[in-house]
Structure 1
Amino acid sequence: MTAGLADADLPGVWRDADTSSLSAQNLTLRLTRAKVGGGVFAALGGALTWQFGRVDLAAVMILIGFSVALGCEVTAALCKPEQKWYDGRAVAESAKTLAWRYAIGADPFPSDMPRADAHDLLRRRLSDITREVSDVVVFKTSDVIVTQRMDELRTAAFPVRRDAYVDGRTIDQKKWYARKAEFNRKRGQIWRVVLVLAEVTAVMLALGKLFGNWQIDFAGLFAAFIGAGAAWVAVKQFAPLASAYSVATAELGIQANRLRSVEEERWAFVVADAEEAISREHTTWLASRTSIRPYGSGS
């Protein structure tokens, strides 16, 4: 197997965007967990009738729960971590596909293009991409646009470039998509079972309150839990992601087989098709989240 481009071999733009996106993703998910958790905690207070002297503990729980949820909502509105997550991911994927296209002599950087012209074109493409998100992603690295490994691979013989791309990009990405498709499919199934069980339990508890004259509203508590679970599933999008990753896995498998036998004369354009398959999944993921599109998505 011929070595391709490791993360350390990618432009600094990719590292900045990737770091920004991962940080914003973590903050987004933490805020979401805290917000739905605050809602469930408040619902628990609403279901109970605890009193400690003259202090209504249930009311205190409701106050704390909704205060946490409100704080998370305000933080999300001010910091916009979700936008930083999505825009950073779009830029990172665009920088990665441009780096690979440059390194293996694919369109729009064919191997017969003079090195200086290819450098200049890559610099302009990355500049155009980063300019769109400069208000939400901080680009602070001083790394060069074209790394040593990118130039080494670009000047290598065609069979070396071809094997590096097929093994280091197409097959590697295919395996990643396959793992993520299976992961999201299993998580989606688990959450469906959990929510169905919670709904059945809520119905039984509602009947108990209706006919058993229970004082505690457990059904209302489970309703809050179901709402929180549904909100979490909506954020994680297990089913849509599993479907998109499965499609991308199949497409990349076909592309890998095609790339193994392609002639050098058609290489630049066939690789562009393979990158389209990768970019298509990213575009689908980003479509409902941001106006930024990864490079190579047909825009």
Structure 2
Amino acid sequence: MKAAQVSLRRLISKSAIRRWREISFSVEISIGACMRSIALSLILLSVASINVMAQGAATFHVFPQIADGFAGSTAYLSSLAATNVSSQAATCTFTLRGGVSGRISSPTFTLAASGGLGLLNTVVAEGTILPLATGYAPLSCTQPVAAFVGYTLYSSLGTVLAGATVFSSPPATRSELLVLQTAGYRTAFAIANDTDSPGQYQITVLNLSGQQVAAANVSVPARLNVAKFVDELVTLPPSFTGSAFITSASGSFSVVGLLFNGSVFTSTPAVNFAP
């Protein structure tokens, strides 16, 4: 904890440090109970049915968005759940990239055969006080596993404010996402470029009649991700409902949508049209 506070002194004022210390104290007291609740929920979801989970089983997964740390009086936690659907033990590595690099204490783990479950949390669950950072994460395993990531938003007292579950996003060169910009909703997306070359992607927004209403380009450096609200890139018509096509001329990407209404959010998976 002292190391975390020393690093924070370089980033924020003394008054902010005092406030973060108060938050730190609250997290140390309350985060354990909240994490036990989350871990139990993940276990129940993961072991419900290996056959159902096996539909998305693979030896390699990409999660385009990972968040960890404090933003004001709230904290974001990302939790990975992985289930081994093979008859042999699996060794997996969950590699956090971008701003969240290093924010999992033990990224490599082993899953027992035929239903072995692994649960990993980013470091905020351990009471580590760091500013909010985001990135993406590939999961690589020696055997096929089914996996998902849960995002949870906490208050400084450890109360769960919002949460969402995100399944991995297979690499693609053309994908479609729902865009909902009405009744207080805003649509965001995260694109991960898990390749060794910079990526250039075209975002084309269509209305429900299939007519183009806006377009923009997004650049993502190699082995990094970019997360944006759609209305940060283009101007949308009032009370808009439609879709966004994301297209790459060269190189694959992984993408996930996030739908916000205030601080409450949920995930929206992409539909892939080309591998």
Q: TM-score interval w.r.t. the shorter chain?
A: under 0.3
Higher relative contact order (CA 8 A, sep 6+): 1
Tell me the TM-score normalised to structure 1 length. Answer: 0.20
Tell me the TM-score normalised to structure 2 length. Answer: 0.22
Higher CA-based Rg: 1
The structure whose residues are more often helix, as a share, is 1
